[in-house]
């Protein structure tokens, strides 16, 4: 079963009538079949949410589980590392209010009694380092992988809690002087999430996310809870999985959302001056450094790629054990794409690459040939 919910302006289920089948005129309709195919036989649900100019659509295929209800624009998916784009926006939003500064050292916002990592060369780790993967921290906290092995194929991070995180932070020595080397770090962005919750008055990352981003942007399905309603069931190689739990690193990978709300989130980046969080939405799009051995740049978390015709492509992907997600937007063509499926990434899966190719194609200017851009 496939459903397309389409409309002018912001996409979403509210106030828009869903139509069974595929609306051939809706943005993304031509690309959706290829994305469903790329999700593979183990996926039961696929969503493609697209905005193009003034038109938008949320294409939904399948069911929330093999015996579940139909997939809808409000069906929630685990976003994995796409969570980091929300953490980046929180940093920019708190900075716009003067509650933090990107150059603040980590120590300034640690909860009472918590010790920072050991930095033996260079200056202190700053918030901007955490948001650009240049903190010198390793990819994961010490001890997490060892604790993850017994439940690797189901819920590997569930047993590593907040207390273990803070204990590990106090005994961490950074790999490189902060600000000098790019090294993708769930640890670093996870730490950023805790620091922002402390600076913003919490009570925790999930509460701050709802207060500062969810409610202002009207994102009803945005949640960090594994027990949130309307969630699809994740699958790994065809086996259904329990909800993803990542108590030590919520700012790096705990967020869930539906396709319609992700499109609202992305459209806010396309039109920062037309709604709330304007200063913060502009700030997350500012390139900070060029990635090694690449023409790409990193902004606050977001990857930035300049197309040959000077279009700006911002994108990020994510995955948990049972879900794969991709988001991207292009301001020049007012294009936004969110692609979601309820099966986890594997070595052979091509969902993320197909989603990026779909985004790149949809972000072309009107009339541009498929081979360009």
In eight-state DSSP terms, residue 331 is G
| pLDDT-wise least confident of 116-120, 126-130, 131-135 | 116-120
Q: SS3 sequence, 80-147? A: HHHHHHHHHHHHHHHHHCCCCCCCCEHHHHCCCCCCCCECCCCCCCEHHHHHCCCCCCCCCCCCHHHH
Q: For residue 63, what is the DSSP state?
A: B
More confident: 13 or 234: 234
What pLDDT score was predicted for residue 24? 66
Enter the pTM of the model: 0.93
When pLDDT is averaged across residues 132-138 and rounded to a whole number, the result is: 97
Instruction: Tell me how far apart the alpha carbons of residues 246 and 208 are, in angstroms, rounded to a whole number.
Output: 17
Tokens of 139: 């990819």
Reported as a pLDDT band with limits 50, 70 and 90, residue 241 is very high
Q: Where are the beta strands (DSSP E) in the chain?
A: 2-8, 19-20, 45-52, 55-62, 76-78, 235-236, 239-240, 256-258, 289-290, 297-298, 303-306, 312-319, 324-330, 335-341
Please, is 252 exposed, middle or buried when counting C-beta atoms within 10 Å of its C-beta (0-12, 13-18, 19+)? buried
Q: Is 248 helix (H, G, I), strand (E, B) or coil?
A: coil
Q: Residues 144, 252: contact at Cβ < 8 Å?
A: no
pLDDT of residue 54: 87
**Tokens found for residue 321:** 């054990």
Q: Give the per-residue pLDDT at 20.
A: 34
Question: What spatial distance separates the first Cα and last Cα of the chain, rounded to whole Å?
Answer: 33
User: What's residue 294's pLDDT?
Assistant: 86
**pLDDT tens, residue by residue, 65-93:** 999 999 999 999 999 999 999 999 999 99
Residue 326 sits at φ, ψ, to 5 deg, of -145, 140
- Give the C-alpha distances (Å, rounded to integers) separating 64 from 43, 234, 268: 9, 9, 27
29-46 pLDDT, tens digit per residue, is 999 999 999 999 999 999
Distances (CA, A) of 162 to 131, 167, 248, 354: 20, 9, 5, 36
Please tell me the predicted confidence (pLDDT) of residue 6: 53
pLDDT at residue 14 is higher than 70: no
Beta-bridge partners for 304: 297, 314
Q: Give the burial class of 320: count Cβ atoms within 10 A of its Cβ; 0-12 exposed, 13-18 middle, 19 or more buried.
A: buried
Per-residue pLDDT of 3-12, as tens digits, reads 676 533 333 3
């Amino acid at each position: 079963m496939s459903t397309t919910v389409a409309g002018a302006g912001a996409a979403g289920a509210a106030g828009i009538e869903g139509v069974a089948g595929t609306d051939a005129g809706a943005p993304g309709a031509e690309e959706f079949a290829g994305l469903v195919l790329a999700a593979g036989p183990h996926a039961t649900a696929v969503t493609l949410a697209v905005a193009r100019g003034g038109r938008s659509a949320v294409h939904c295929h399948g069911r929330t589980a093999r015996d579940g209800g139909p997939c809808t624009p409000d069906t929630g998916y685990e976003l994995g590392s796409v969570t980091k784009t929300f953490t980046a926006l929180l940093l920019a939003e708190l900075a716009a209010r003067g509650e933090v500064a990107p150059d603040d050292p980590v120590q300034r916002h640690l909860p009472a009694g918590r010790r920072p990592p050991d930095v033996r060369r260079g200056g202190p780790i700053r918030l901007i380092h955490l948001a650009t993967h240049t903190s010198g921290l390793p990819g994961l906290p010490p001890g997490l992988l060892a604790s993850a092995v017994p439940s690797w194929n189901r819920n590997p991070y569930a047993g590593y809690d907040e207390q273990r995180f803070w204990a590990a932070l106090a005994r961490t020595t950074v790999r490189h002087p902060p600000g000098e080397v790019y090294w993708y770090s769930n640890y670093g962005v996870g730490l950023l999430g805790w620091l922002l919750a402390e600076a913003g008055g919490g009570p925790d990352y999930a509460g701050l996310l709802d207060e500062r981003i969810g409610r202002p942007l009207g994102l009803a399905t945005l949640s960090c809870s594994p027990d949130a309603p309307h969630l699809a069931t994740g699958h790994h190689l065809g086996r259904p999985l329990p909800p993803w739990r990542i108590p030590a690193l919520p700012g790096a990978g705990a967020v869930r959302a539906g396709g319609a709300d992700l499109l609202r989130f992305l459209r806010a980046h396309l039109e920062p001056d037309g709604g709330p969080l304007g200063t913060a939405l502009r700030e997350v799009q500012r390139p900070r450094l060029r990635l090694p051995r690449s023409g790409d740049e990193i902004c606050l978390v977001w990857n930035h790629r300049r197309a040959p015709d000077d279009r700006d492509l911002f994108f990020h992907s994510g995955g948990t054990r049972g879900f794969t997600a991709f988001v991207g937007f292009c301001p020049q063509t007012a294009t936004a794409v969110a692609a979601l499926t309820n099966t986890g990434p594997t070595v052979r899966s091509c969902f993320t690459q197909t989603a990026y190719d779909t985004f790149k194609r949809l972000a072309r200017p009107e009339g541009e040939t498929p081979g360009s851009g």
